[in-house]
Amino acid sequence: MKQVEKGEYGYITYRRKIQTIKSVIAFAIVLAIFLTGFLICKTRNNICTVMAVLCVLPASRFLVALLLFVRHKTPPREQYDSLAEKGSHLILLSDCVMTCKEKNIDVPFAVITDTCIYCYTENQAFDEKYFEENVSDFIKSCGDTVKVKLYKNYDEFSKRVSTLNGLEYQQKKAERIKNDFLILVI
């Protein structure tokens, strides 16, 4: 399985598979330790039971990470290809599950320039101002000032990407903003 990095198309699906594998292996190890002690001692009152109980906590950590990715999905490939075509000179990120202080938000697509971050979400109930302020404050704390805009309508977002494609921007600064933005992605 090819490794998919944060911001690349298919990241959520990839992380879901990896976390599933890690969870299954971790709980299989816990079960193996417990069963080994039980089969050897013919009772659960042994040191292997203690070791198995201590191994449940790290195994649960993998399960919690899996549950985080189960709620989100990778956007349709057609949408990604369409945006990549329209914004061929832009930095296009996909499959972003963002953390903003108290809430998580699924951001299927984000486009980054040296002055702006444009994001799209399907979550109609999410507070735009909350998201925009939190992301811009975080990027500001990293040393750059950007305008953040969250779109809830795919067609509007797609049109905005088309208009941005012809604009000139500083590639190095945009890459730095992209790296700062990816810090917020789980």
**Per-residue pLDDT tens digits for 32-71:** 999 999 999 999 899 999 999 999 999 999 999 999 889 8
Residues 38 and 101: their CA atoms lie apart, in Å, by 45
pLDDT at 103: 79
Cα Rg for the chain, rounded, in angstroms?
Answer: 21
**Per-residue pLDDT tens digits for 4-42:** 999 999 999 999 999 999 999 999 999 999 999 999 999
Helix (H, G, I), strand (E, B) or coil at 33: helix
pLDDT at 76: 94
CB-based contact 86:164 (threshold 8 Å) = no
**Per-residue pLDDT tens digits for 134-143:** 999 999 999 9
Report the share of the chain in percent with pLDDT over 70: 100
pLDDT at 101: 73
Burial zone of 102 (CB within 10 Å; 0-12 exposed, 13-18 middle, 19+ buried)? exposed
> Taking the chain, what is the end-to-end CA distance rounded to the nearest angstrom?
20
Q: What is the mean pLDDT of the chain?
A: 92
Domain limits of the chain?
11-70, 77-183
